[in-house]
Amino acid sequence: MPMKIIATIAEMQKASADERALGKRIALVPTMGYLHDGHVSLIKKAKDHADIVIASIFVNPTQFGPNEDFERYPRDFTRDHSLLEGAGCDYIFYPGIKEMYAGANRTEIKIDYLTRNFEGTLRPGHFNGVALVVSKLFNATLPHLAIFGQKDYQQTLVIKQMVRDLNFGIELIISATYREADGLAMSSRNVYLSPSERLKANIIFNALEKAKKAILSGERQRKIINATMHSVLRSVPEIRIDYASSALADSLDEPDIFLAGDELVLLLAVYLGRTRLIDNTLVRAPLSSASAEDKFVEEYI
């Protein structure tokens, strides 16, 4: 069937209900538009897991702070439409702000614990806005599953917790970060980078890879792992670091020393010029790299 564009919640709910009545499995891919190949990969993954794919395009004002880039966030619906049609998307849910936030909007969803550090600290209220809009998108599109990219790692943990705590009954699939040839994570905000900044932007991926290599070589001290990323990033004078940190992947806890077998996430957020970029990678501390102290404990205690 030809791809359909739907702008109202009521019409979207009816379309999804009709598809469900036919026994169709529905996948949602939430986006803020200005799509790139990473988004296209999410649509294709959704096609592998569902009969019907809905892509939402909505630049959500409640997740932007007062000094952030809501007004200048890149938008190009004609281009987005072409990419989604080419990827085999079935519906575009394209509501306006008044449609999504009609009335007084006195309801808030607050996510605790997972928002206590990193983006949650630097962007107060950001994850409340994310949780609210994602819940509204779930209710508007009625999907069986939703697909998110790993690049927004802390966001994926927040959404997982919300889905679990509020009993949404929606399967979540987290897709690996889609990267440029030099390792830079694909992002709609990459368009802000000047040509000279773009040439230097792969330092972000390099910092993650060097810290990952250190962990795989046996490093378990959080401060040393973090310092490894900072050292690489500071080789580019235009970089300003918000954070470059290691944490436990499931909780974002930051122990002084990680244990063998721990799954870690390396998270960073930096400004390159005026553009804020985030990235992450997952790595498991190897079981075979026990320190002398660990061996003493194993042998004598």
Catalytic annotation, residues: 39
**CA dist., res. 256 & res. 220, Å (int):** 8
Place of tokens 């509204």: 136
The answer to whether 235 and 270 have CB atoms below 8 angstroms apart is no
Contact 141, 28 (CB under 8 A): yes
- For 260, counting Cβ atoms within 10 Å of its Cβ (0-12 exposed, 13-18 middle, 19+ buried), the class is middle
- Report the alpha-carbon angle 5-6-9, nearest 5: 165
- For residue 282, which phi and psi values (nearest 5 degrees)? -105, 145
Torsion 50-23-164-32 (CA) sign = positive
